[in-house]
Structures are given as C-alpha cells and as structure tokens.
Chains A and B, each alone.
Chain A
Amino acid sequence: MTSTPSSARRRTRRIATAVAASAFSIALVAGCGSGGGDSATPAADGQPVTITFWGWAKGTQEVVNAFNASHKNVQVNFESIPSGVAGGYAKISNAVKAGNAPDLFNTEYGQLPDFVSQGAVQDITKLLNADLKAKYLPQSVELTTLGGKSWALPLDAAPQAFFYRKDLFEKAGITSPPKTWDEYRADAEKLKNAVPNSRIGTFFPDDPSTFEALSWQNGAHWFTGVSDTWRVELNGNDTKRVTDYWQKLLSDDLVRVQPSFSQQWTASLQKGETAAYLGAAWGGGVLKGTVPDASGKWAVAPVPTWDGKPASGMLGGTTFAVSKDSKKAKAALEFAQWATTTPEGIQARISSGTSSMFPAAPALVPVAKAAFNTDFYGGQDIYSVFSAAAESIKPNWQWGPAMAATNSSVKDAFGKLGQGGTIQAAIDAGQQATVAEMKNRGLKVSE
C-alpha cells in the first residue's frame, strides 16, 4: 500500500468529510443552546416592536389576534404552552434560566411569588401608574404586589363557584344547590343513594389549588410575611376543619378521586358519574368545552360555605408578568394592559366561547357578561353569581415564595390517598417541605 495520487486524494476527501461531520455536529450542539436572541427595534423608526408571549388561558389566541389587528406599533407573537401545573411553569423557569424566555408570560397568582423569588420576573413598579392600578380589584392588586413592588398585571379574579347538573340533582330530590358544607354532604349522600354510580364532586390529587381555595375560604392563612419573616401555617385550625371534612367525604366514598381536567374526569362527567364540580369563575368556560353535549343541563351556584354567609377563596387566577431579561417591558405591558383593562380585550377573550373568566377590572364585568353565550347554563346569568362571589373573596391571603415546593410535596402525598395516605399527612408533609425549602433559600421562617 504505497501512497498513490488516487489514495492520497481519497484520504484528503475522507479528512474533509470527517471535519465537515464534526463541524456539523458542533453546529448542532451549539444550535440547542441558542435561540431567543434579542432583536429589539425601537418603534421610532416605524418598525413595530414584536414581543413574544407564552400563555395558556382560554381565548388568548383570539385576544392576540384582535390586538395585532388593531395595533401597528406593537405586535404579539403568541405561543400556547401547557397550563402551569401541567408543565407550563417548568417550561417558563427553564427558559428564564437558559436565557431564551419570552418577553411576557402568564402565571397564576399562586406561582408569582415563587417566580419573583427565583428572579424570573421584572419589577414593573415604575411602568404602572395609579390610574391603571385603580382599575383592578384591590385583592388582585394585593396579590401582584410583593415586597412593596408591582410584578404583574392581573387578568382575572377567580372567585369560587359551584357547577352542578340540574337533571341529576332533581333525580336525587335535591331541590336547590347546597348553601352550606353540611348541606353539601347531605346532598352527596342523597345523590349517591338515588344514582349509585354518581358522585357530587371530585377531589383532585394532582393539584392542591382547590384545597387551598377551600382553606382560604375558611379564613386560613398559609403564609404571612411580617417585616422580614415568613409565618408558615399550613396546618392551622382553619385548614384542619377543611381537611377533616374532606377526609370524611373521601372515607365515605362520597366524592371521586381523579386528576383535574384529566381524561378520567372528563369521561366521568360525560357519563354523569360526576354530577358537580367545585371550580372558579373560569371553570364555566372550561366545563362548557369539556362536556359540550351536556348543554342546558348545567347550572352555577355560589360555593357552599361553613355558616351559610357568602365567602370565597380564589382558585387560580391569571396574571401577566414580564420576564427578567426582556428589553421590551414597555411594549409587553402595553399588550397586557390592553388585554386586561379594555372592553376590546375582554370582549375578544370571552366571545371566543371558551373563557368565562371574571375580569380583575370590575368595570368590565358587563362586557364579559354580554359576550358570554350562556346557552350551556340554560341562559342563567352566571356573571351575577360570579360578581357576588368576587365581593365575598376573603382579603389578606398571601401566597408563599416557594409554592412549587409546597405544591409538589402536597401533591406527592395526595397521590398516596388511595394507599392509606390521609389529607392531614399530605398537609403536614407540605408544611415540612415548605419550611425546609424556604430555610434553604436563606429566608427567615417562623412556624
């Protein structure tokens, strides 16, 4: 094997191929890490500023379309992501860490303090004026103001609501929806007796937010920030009452245990095996989209309370936050403000037919009411129910700065409900994990 011209050429070609291949692989590897580069062009030169926006709230695409059609200086590039608990929050924090986060994203009130604490969102205090803040419900402003600074614009308040199947309730001889938790239990028994396959509600083991709202409704305060110390009290007496009540419903097989918005839950609603849903205002649109065939059979009532007087917590509720590194905060807020405080923004969302959210700007409730088609609820004036509920939202609830840790530990323990676990054990686990996580972050905690 001597080096002939031809073999030498072959070798050169081989080297070239190898080099090209390795260069290609490097490019591939590099490609994974880049993206989301900032091409901020000031609106002054006539070019519109394009912002990127991630969210999952129903009707968002319609809102973005309407905004883009009516605005020349700012254009929104919307990407629909999975809901927060279903992986959306993971996606957002991951993107922030990797430096390719969108300019604007949706987060629920509960997750906002965690994002602030992680340094994922921008302080927008200086970009908001008092007039704008005055448009929102005080509870919503309170939940988006942390450490004296503003971090997000609220889209909706999420007063709790009780959705039920009129026909199934009638069959069970339940003439009016339960006003108190005692009545709820009695009705649960009636329903199970009359329709053995059917249950009055669902305990969601994959998402503690309903349980949190119920604790909130009973006056619990899981987190209280006093000067520079957090008081963490997941296992206080107000929560315990809720815990014991639901534990008993579970033990007596009066409610189902199914993941929230799962195929399982949907199938059970479709078959009438679940006759009611403890949700929030936004649940009205979700329910309509989940079981469209049951149109006209559903109705809405205020959430049952302990003493029969109106009271509500907040279950979910979406806000718009600007990501830490965004250089287009002003443009992003222009869109967020339009989406949350203008009749056009609310109208576009509600008339999509998929959303029944209760605007955080109360002046726009009539707009929402007019835009929502209530055929599914037999023409019932559902927004009046939501309005009354919104007024009864208990003030001074605070979300903790490590809600992801709180929720994931509670969730994991809820997962053991089928195998001898209890709600109390889950809440205790949540308390412990939360305190450990907060201490690890260097925060002062008192239990």
Chain B
Amino acid sequence: MTRHILRTTSSRAVTVRRRGRSGAPAVLLAPFLILFTACTLIPIGYAVYLSLFSERRSGLGFGGSTSVFTGLGNYTRALTDHAFLDGFANIAQYCLVYIPVMVGFSLLLALLLDSTLARARRFFQLALFMPHAVPGIIAALIWMYLYTPGISPVIDALNAAGTQADILGHPLAAVVNIAAWEWTGYNMVIFYAALQAIPREVLEAAVVDGAGPLRTAFSVKIPLIRASLTMVGLFTMIGSLQLFTEPMILHGTAPGVTSAWTPNMYAYTAAFERGDYGLAAASSVLLAVVAAALSLIVTRISRSRSDRRTEVTR
C-alpha cells in the first residue's frame, strides 16, 4: 500500500516535471539571462571588439581619425606600460596590508561578540555593521575631508599633539583605512555567524578540559571557522582587483594617488581622459581575465575543501 502510494507520487512528479520543462524554467531564467546578456555578455563582447582597434591620424592630427585594426597591439601596449603593471603592484601591496588588518579586526570583534564577556550583543552587532551601510563613494568623500589638513579636526588634533600627520601623502594607508572601515563590520557578521554555528558541546568540552577563553578562541573556535576565514580572504582579494571608487575620490585631493593607481583607474583614464578606448578596453579585458583566473582558483579550493569535509564526515 505504502509502496503503491510512493510509486504514484513519484510518477506524478515526473509528469509534472516533464510538463513544466518547457515553461517554468524558461520563464524563471529569462529575466536573469536577458539581463546577464545585456549587462555582461554584450559589454564584454563589445570590449573585446573595441580592444582590437586603434584610432590613427595623419599629419599634425587635425584631419580627423580613422579606426584601424591592430590585433593584439593594444594588449601589448597595456602589458608593456609601467603604469598598468604598477596598478597591479599597488593592488598586491594593498592586499598584503589590507587583508590581514581587516580580517584580523573582523575576527577579533566576532570573537569578542561570541565570548561570554559580551554585553549588549545585538547593539554592537548592528553598530559595528553600520559603516558598511554607508556607500563607498560617500565614505570616501567623508574620509577625504577627514584626511585634509586645515579642515580635518583629526589631522589638526594630531598636529597639535606634535605629530606631522600627512595621510594624504601615503595613499596606501589612506585607501586601506577607508576600506577597512567599510568591510570590517560586514565580515565580522560572517565570522560571528560561523562562530555561532560551532556545536556548543565542543566548547563545553573545551571548558571542561580547563581551557580559558583565549585558549578556546585560538585552539577551538578559530580552527573550526577556518573555512570562512579562507573564503573571506580570497573573496576580498578578488574584490580588491576591482578597487576604484575610493582611490578615484582621493585622486583629486591626494596627488600621490596617481591616475592609474589601480588597473581599473588605468582603464578609466585611458578611456575618458586620453580618449584611447582601444587601450581602455584591452586593459579591462586583461583585468577581467586575471579576476576570472583568481575566481577559478577560489572555486577549486573551496570545492576540494568541501569534498574533503564530506569524506571526513562519511
């Protein structure tokens, strides 16, 4: 009897699936596919197309220009341009400083929230997350004022205390600080959620074994949320490649943030300041390739990790 019912349900499910195959999935996927095509595939295709052409002029250059197919010429130009490569070097430096600082702070805050010492958890969780709700461009504008000597109360106070604070002269520190404020709270929430998911028995066992709060944090909690830590680190790295808004805003006030401080800014300057759309497209495509390669590595790593974990559980 039971078996019979089971069989009918499953056969009915099959018919429903078959009937729906033509309709529902197509309809549900359509908005995504249309937007994806219009906003991602077509622009990428157009960028690749643009990247194969260069504008050429003759004589003194006042007779108008013609578009010439230059093959991979723009790619060679981008790859041999120091400014473009320096952009990647800046990103690398930025990651080296920013990721440990930001992840360190997020982890510290998450552990504090998760610890038995914490009071007013809800409040701090929200308060620490707040800076993330400020859009990057607004945050950068506010920080720009806070960095500018002569109008910033912070810099004035530091100078009054006898230091010669010149954060605008140190682009890396200036950008890392803005980004850290923006993302620490966000990642703290991720870590906190991971910490909350740790089975309480494990923590109790640690306490029974005589581990203090510090020992529990370092030997039990952190190892158990290592997967989240790695993920946040890798995603931040990929995100850093796209760095644009914050340094672009600072560019106006801090001349040390050059017009090609990040690869994205290089593409922007090439297109909109120098009118060299071919070079801009080529550098954007190169940036996209690097980002795609990194993403691939990340997915590989995460997949192998989860595979390993299932094996262990099995």
Which of B88-96, B100-108, B145-153 faces chain A?
B145-153
B-side contacts of A117, CB under 8 Å: 57, 61-62, 65
A304–B95 Cα distance when bound, in Å, is 48
Contact of A18 with B275 in the complex, beta carbons under 8 Å? no
Contact pick for B269, options A18, A402, A408, CB 8 Å: A408
A-side contacts of B38, CB under 8 Å: 25-26, 29
B303 at the interface (CB under 8 A from A): no
Contact of B255 with A90 in the complex, beta carbons under 8 Å? no
A264–B169 Cα distance when bound, in Å, is 13
B45 at the interface (CB under 8 A from A): no
- What 1/0 mask marks residues of chain A from 159 to 177 whose CB sits below 8 Å from any chain B CB? 0000000000000000000
A-side contacts of B39, CB under 8 Å: 29
CB distance from A409 to the nearest CB of B (A): 8
Which of A65-73, A277-285, A439-447 faces chain B?
A439-447
With A25-B35, A401-B62, A443-B60: A90-B258 Cβ-Cβ less than 8 Å? no
Contact of A1 with B12 in the complex, beta carbons under 8 Å? yes
B-side contacts of A114, CB under 8 Å: 275
A-side contacts of B44, CB under 8 Å: none
A395 at the interface (CB under 8 A from B): no
CB distance from A325 to the nearest CB of B (A): 13
Contact of B31 with A22 in the complex, beta carbons under 8 Å? yes
A149–B260 Cα distance when bound, in Å, is 35
Which chain A residue has the least Cβ–Cβ distance from B258?
A412
B-side contacts of A120, CB under 8 Å: 275
With A116-B62, A443-B61: A408-B273 Cβ-Cβ less than 8 Å? yes
B-side contacts of A91, CB under 8 Å: 272
A-side contacts of B269, CB under 8 Å: 408
Contact of B255 with A404 in the complex, beta carbons under 8 Å? no
A6 at the interface (CB under 8 A from B): no
B308 at the interface (CB under 8 A from A): no
A146–B83 Cα distance when bound, in Å, is 31
Chain A: interface residue total (CB-CB under 8 A): 62
B-side contacts of A238, CB under 8 Å: none
| Interface residues in B58-115 (C-beta closer than 8 Å to A) | 58-65, 68, 77, 83
A-side contacts of B58, CB under 8 Å: 228, 442-443
CB distance from A358 to the nearest CB of B (A): 27
Contact of A15 with B275 in the complex, beta carbons under 8 Å? no
A206 at the interface (CB under 8 A from B): yes
A94 at the interface (CB under 8 A from B): yes
Contact of B61 with A89 in the complex, beta carbons under 8 Å? no
A-side contacts of B183, CB under 8 Å: none
CB distance from B242 to the nearest CB of A (A): 20
Contact pick for B149, options A116, A264, A402, CB 8 Å: A264
| Interface residues in B32-69 (C-beta closer than 8 Å to A) | 34-35, 38-39, 54-65, 68
Which of A132-140, A289-297, A362-370, A415-423 faces chain B?
A415-423
B-side contacts of A412, CB under 8 Å: 83, 258-260
Which chain B residue has the least Cβ–Cβ distance from A149?
B62
B-side contacts of A147, CB under 8 Å: 59-60, 62-63
A267–B258 Cα distance when bound, in Å, is 23
B277 at the interface (CB under 8 A from A): yes
A54–B258 Cα distance when bound, in Å, is 27
Contact of B31 with A416 in the complex, beta carbons under 8 Å? no
CB distance from A33 to the nearest CB of B (A): 10
Contact of B34 with A25 in the complex, beta carbons under 8 Å? yes
A-side contacts of B257, CB under 8 Å: 415
Which chain A residue has the least Cβ–Cβ distance from B58?
A442
Contact pick for A405, options B57, B60, B274, CB 8 Å: B274
Contact of A18 with B31 in the complex, beta carbons under 8 Å? yes
A113 at the interface (CB under 8 A from B): yes
A412–B58 Cα distance when bound, in Å, is 28
A440–B70 Cα distance when bound, in Å, is 11
Which chain A residue has the least Cβ–Cβ distance from B59?
A228
Contact of A264 with B274 in the complex, beta carbons under 8 Å? no
Chain B: interface residue total (CB-CB under 8 A): 52
B30 at the interface (CB under 8 A from A): yes
CB distance from B90 to the nearest CB of A (A): 12
| Interface residues in B263-310 (C-beta closer than 8 Å to A) | 269, 271-277
Contact of B256 with A441 in the complex, beta carbons under 8 Å? no
Give the interface SS of chain A, mostly helix, strand, loop or mixed.
Answer: helix
With A116-B62, A117-B62, A401-B60: A267-B150 Cβ-Cβ less than 8 Å? yes
A405–B149 Cα distance when bound, in Å, is 30
Which residue, A119, A149, A419, has most C-beta atoms of chain B within 10 A?
A: A119
A-side contacts of B23, CB under 8 Å: 11, 15
Contact pick for B30, options A18, A29, A118, CB 8 Å: A18
A15–B150 Cα distance when bound, in Å, is 60
- What 1/0 mask marks residues of chain A from 427 to 447 whose CB sits below 8 Å from any chain B CB? 000000000011011111000
- What 1/0 mask marks residues of chain A from 99 to 138 whose CB sits below 8 Å from any chain B CB? 0000000000000011011111000000000000000000
A268 at the interface (CB under 8 A from B): yes
CB distance from A294 to the nearest CB of B (A): 16
B219 at the interface (CB under 8 A from A): no
Contact pick for B16, options A1, A271, A416, CB 8 Å: A1
B-side contacts of A25, CB under 8 Å: 31, 34-35, 38
B-side contacts of A405, CB under 8 Å: 274
A-side contacts of B63, CB under 8 Å: 147
| Interface residues in A230-274 (C-beta closer than 8 Å to B) | 230, 259, 262-264, 267-268, 271, 273
A-side contacts of B150, CB under 8 Å: 263-264, 267-268, 271, 273
A93 at the interface (CB under 8 A from B): yes
Contact of B148 with A263 in the complex, beta carbons under 8 Å? yes
A-side contacts of B275, CB under 8 Å: 93, 97, 114, 118, 120, 404
Contact of A419 with B169 in the complex, beta carbons under 8 Å? yes
A411 at the interface (CB under 8 A from B): yes
Contact of A408 with B274 in the complex, beta carbons under 8 Å? yes
A-side contacts of B12, CB under 8 Å: 1
Which chain A residue has the least Cβ–Cβ distance from B275?
A118
Contact of B256 with A415 in the complex, beta carbons under 8 Å? yes
- B residues with a Cβ closer than 8 A to A are 12, 16, 19, 23-24, 27-28, 30-31, 34-35, 38-39, 54-65, 68, 77, 83, 145, 148-151, 166, 169, 252-260, 269, 271-277
**Extra 17 A-B pairs, beta carbons < 8 Å, given A147-B59, A404-B273:** A1-B16, A19-B30, A22-B35, A26-B38, A90-B273, A93-B272, A97-B275, A116-B62, A206-B252, A228-B58, A259-B255, A264-B253, A271-B150, A404-B274, A408-B259, A411-B258, A417-B255
Could you list 9 A-B pairs, sorted by A, with CB under 8 Å?
A1-B12, A11-B24, A25-B35, A116-B62, A118-B55, A206-B255, A263-B145, A405-B274, A412-B83
